[in-house]
Amino acid sequence: MRATRPDPARAVAPRWRHHAVVWTFLFGVGALVLRAGYLVVTDREFLVDQGEARSIRNLEIPAHRGMIYDRKGTPLAVSAPMAAAWVDPTETVLASGDVEALAAVLELDAERIRARINAARERQRRFAYIARRVEPDAERRVRALGIAGVYLQPEYHRFYPAGEVAAHLVGRTDIDDRGQEGIERAFNSVLSGEPGTKRVLRDLPGNTVMEILLESPDDGDDLFLGLD
């Protein structure tokens, strides 16, 4: 039988195709590396700007303070939901017209609002109250103004329906709803509960983009007294 000799042309063809595949792969990898370098070097400022166009802040969610009742179930101390209006002085500079509008809605002096914000800015603080204990109607009106950088955070205000009748025993709380006197102070840990936390993502103008609940608040326990 006569041996068959390999065709040199056919032997070269597979090697050529193999080299072509390898070079194509290397070219693709090189293009990706060059693109990454372009993004890191040429577009660096753009990417940094995009990162700075977002701000993330963890905010406290207040717990509802427990109610105090007498023996018959009549409320002696009640916490009503309200809001606190605030700004970040390092991020927000309110226009004069915006300050005037806020002052009108909140029934405050415009110069007093400016003074609060400027004082916090000088101390490089990132939180300045505009108003505390903002009632629901005023809160809705502030939201309707749509002023970027003005935030409304929930809080509570303590009321005492019985007035002076049981005031000496029930006591009182401060503006942050912490017990200062009487039953309010003695049982503060029972009544106050534990606040929660949420993470808020905002864009550069101060508009909320996303909120993520990190921990729900644990409301305080109600307290029943042996009083008529």
Single-letter amino acid, residue 174:
D
Give per-residue pLDDT as tens, 128-159: 999 999 999 999 999 999 998 899 999 999 99
- pTM, full prediction: 0.68
pLDDT attached to residue 214? 87
Q: What is the pLDDT confidence band of residue 203, given thresholds at 50, 70 and 90?
A: confident
Q: How many Cα atoms within 13 Å fall on the side-chain side of residue 45?
A: 1
Instruction: Note the pLDDT tens digit of each residue in 5-60.
Output: 545 444 444 555 555 555 555 555 555 555 545 444 444 444 444 444 457 878 89
Q: How many other β-carbons are positioned within 10 Å of the β-carbon of residue 25?
A: 10
What percentage of residues in the chain have a pLDDT greater than 70? 74
The SS3 of residue 2 is: coil
64-102 per-residue burial string, b: 16 or more CB within 10 A, e: under 16: bbbbbbbeeeeebbebeebbbbbbbbeebebeeebbebb
Give residue 167's pLDDT.
Answer: 85
Q: What is the pLDDT of residue 199?
A: 87
The predicted structure's pLDDT at residue 118: 94
Q: What is the DSSP letter of 47?
A: H
The rounded distance, in Å, linking the Cα atoms of 200 and 216 is: 14
What was the pLDDT predicted at 21?
Answer: 53
Average pLDDT of the residues of the chain:
82
* Residue 35: per-residue pLDDT: 53
Torsion of CA 118, 130, 158, 162, to 10 degrees: 100
